Amino acid sequence: MQSGAGLARRAGFVASATMIAAALLLPACAHAQAQNGLSNLFGGIFSGPNPAPSQPAPGPNGAQPWSGEDGASGHPLMTAAAIREAAGNFDNCVSGMWPDAARRNITQDNFQRFTAGLAPDLRIMDLMDSQPEFSKSIWDYLDILVNDNRLAKGKEVLARYKAQFDATENAYGVDRYIIAAIWGIESNYSTQMGDRSVLQSTATLACVGRRQAYFKDEFLSALEILNRGDLRPEQMRGSWAGAFGPTQFMPTAFKRFAVDGDGDGRRDVVDNPTDLIASTANNLKKDGWQSGQTWGYEVVVPQGFNYMLADRAKTMTIAQWEKLGLKRPTNQPFPHPAEKAYLLAPAGAQGPGFLMLQNFRVIMKYNPAEAYAMAIGHFADRLRGGQPFVQPWPRQERELSRTERLELQQLLAQRGFYKGTPRRPIRRPDPGGLTQLPGFDRGARGRICLLRRAGSAARAVKSPRK
Ligand SMILES: [Ca+2]
């Protein structure tokens, strides 16, 4: 499984949206798993100093304690016994990171000051292994994230910080609406950023559980930020996975991308809008943002289309896609037929298609889940004055439960379409695509007829470990 370094950042959701996000993301891709927006599952409650591992008790402010149970991932470091043991060794683990901290030029005074009194927040172990049984559909998710209230707030923010957005567009060539959309989707304009101490969360994850190496870098990077004085500890609050601020930087992402937009010597991506806007733009630019281009187009996919082509790995020019019969729902011409794009059909043949450009891939780097990235791209268009998607979603359909997806995966494995052990369910298999595979047992169609969602099935069948 990929570690997904730098992808852990995105977390600032209201509880309901986060649960949807979790449901959408967790089963889908390993790389989004430990770091996704689960953080605020419980509305950003500060977990506070942790109760003794062996006797869970409610934390301050009513924070939920650790369940004391084995993690659902089945990872040996996520058993209750392993978690207790690691928690018992927490102080040693933290102090054992001093040599690494010293190599990063953190002063001994600061190391001691910032790590004094740190205790593990074991509730995070439950959140890390959370595997919701039911998931929401992409349209429910888009309905929640792209709404009139958020649009109104976004327009206010664009007006209030017009000077900063002007300067940032000039300096970085990154569209203001995308930055404003990320700000709105990630934290609802700084109103939902999570309230866990980044230092405590990353220290916990660096010393307990199945992602320690990854989070050790995040923890040490958080210390570097504090040591340098860019942010104060009380500013570094966020998701359980350590993402903080209005656009949810992880500590390592901060190190790579944060800039001092107003020249005051500090990179304050939490409370200083100039630094925040410039840093988010710098992040997108460094990830390959193409100035002056959009992220993608809604398209009408013709009847009888081969949905095996709806695959991130299958890139063609827009002109080539047009030859296959794809067009915009309004029949407008594509502005740049030579641009390369891939086809995404997030709701399968029954829903709209999208031709995704380079900038969509950049948004996916910012937030590695199609549903988030689509929400960000679409919300940006709406902030710019664009219209809702033209084609309807297949709202009459329901998502498969986790159990149903696992069952499907087992059926696929029995028929030779899935290699490896079906432990985690794939997402939204596409019956159209599957039934076109040579040798597909149409007897399975009875089970699979529920599965109208296209997209990842073909990829899962071809490369289950991607
Ligand atoms: Ca600054």
Residue 409 has pLDDT above 90, yes or no: no
Q: Is residue 181 part of a domain?
A: no
For the segment 119-136, what is each residue's pLDDT rounded down to a tens digit?
A: 999 999 999 998 878 778
Q: Which residue has the higher pLDDT, 398 or 88?
A: 88
Final residue of a structural domain among 237, 261, 286: 286
Q: Is residue 127 part of a domain?
A: yes
Instruction: Say yes or no: 423 and 280 in one domain.
Output: no
CA atoms within 13 A on the CB side of 15: 6
Nearest CA to 59 out of 152, 121, 125 is that of 121
Residue 50 has pLDDT above 80, yes or no: no
Question: Structurally, how many domains does the chain consist of?
Answer: 2
Q: How far is the CA of 377 from the centre of ligand 1 (A)?
A: 27
Range 79-91 average pLDDT: 98
Query: What CATH number does residue 118 fall under?
Result: 1.10.8.350
Is 326 exposed, middle or buried (CB count within 10 Å of its CB: 0-12, 13-18, 19+)? Answer: buried
Q: How far is the CA of 263 from the centre of ligand 1 (A)?
A: 5
Q: How far is the CA of 257 from the centre of ligand 1 (A)?
A: 13
Task: Extract the tokens encoding 383.
Answer: 């902030």
Q: How far is the CA of 22 from the centre of ligand 1 (A)?
A: 33
Q: How far is the CA of 225 from the centre of ligand 1 (A)?
A: 13
Range 321-325 average pLDDT: 98
pLDDT reported for residue 411: 80
Instruction: Say yes or no: 279 and 422 in one domain.
Output: no
Q: Are 374 and 383 in contact (CB under 8 A)?
A: no
Task: Extract the tokens encoding 377.
Answer: 């791209």
Q: How far is the CA of 266 from the centre of ligand 1 (A)?
A: 4
pLDDT reported for residue 453: 37
pTM for this model (two decimals): 0.80
Q: How far is the CA of 250 from the centre of ligand 1 (A)?
A: 18
Q: Is residue 89 part of a domain?
A: yes
Q: Which residue has the higher pLDDT, 448 or 255?
A: 255
Amino acid at site 174: V
Instruction: Say yes or no: 264 and 408 in one domain.
Output: no
Please state, in angstroms and rounded to a whole number, the distance separating the CA atoms of residues 445 and 437. Answer: 13
Instruction: Say yes or no: 278 and 427 in one domain.
Output: no
Residue 198 has pLDDT above 70, yes or no: yes
> Three-class SS of residue 168?
helix
pLDDT reported for residue 349: 87
Q: How far is the CA of 269 from the centre of ligand 1 (A)?
A: 8
Q: Is residue 10 part of a domain?
A: no
CA atoms within 13 A on the CB side of 122: 30
Final residue of a structural domain among 219, 252, 286: 286
Q: How far is the CA of 183 from the centre of ligand 1 (A)?
A: 18
Q: Is residue 183 part of a domain?
A: no
Q: Is residue 422 part of a domain?
A: yes
- Sheet (strand 296-299) strand order: 296-299, 353-356, 340-344, 316-317
Q: Are 397 and 441 in contact (CB under 8 A)?
A: no
Final residue of a structural domain among 286, 311, 335: 286
Q: How far is the CA of 273 from the centre of ligand 1 (A)?
A: 9
Q: Is residue 316 part of a domain?
A: no
Q: Which residue has the higher pLDDT, 64 or 194?
A: 194
Specify the range with the lowest mean pLDDT, choosing from 114-118, 129-133, 198-202, 251-255: 129-133
Residue 464 has pLDDT above 70, yes or no: no
Q: How far is the CA of 264 from the centre of ligand 1 (A)?
A: 5
- Tell me the average pLDDT of the chain: 81
Its domain, for residue 433, covers 402-462
Task: Extract the tokens encoding 180.
Answer: 């404003």
Residue 337 has pLDDT above 60, yes or no: yes
Which residues, in sequence order, are CB contacts of 231 under 8 Å at separation 6+?
Answer: 225, 266, 267, 268, 269, 270
Instruction: Say yes or no: 102 and 236 in one domain.
Output: yes
Instruction: Say yes or no: 277 and 407 in one domain.
Output: no
Please state, in angstroms and rounded to a whole number, the distance separating the CA atoms of residues 404 and 425. Answer: 8
Q: Is residue 347 part of a domain?
A: no
> Three-class SS of residue 300?
strand
Q: How far is the CA of 356 from the centre of ligand 1 (A)?
A: 34
Specify the range with the lowest mean pLDDT, choosing from 242-246, 276-280, 440-444: 440-444
Q: How far is the CA of 255 from the centre of ligand 1 (A)?
A: 14
Instruction: Say yes or no: 104 and 252 in one domain.
Output: yes
Q: How far is the CA of 165 from the centre of ligand 1 (A)?
A: 15
Q: Are 190 and 183 in contact (CB under 8 A)?
A: yes
pLDDT reported for residue 258: 98
Task: Extract the tokens encoding 364.
Answer: 């996916």
Beta bridge partners of 249: 244
Nearest CA to 48 out of 140, 106, 151, 118 is that of 118
Helix axes 176-187, 148-160, angle to 10 degrees: 130
For the segment 280-319, what is each residue's pLDDT rounded down to a tens digit?
A: 999 999 999 999 999 999 999 999 999 889 999 999 999 9
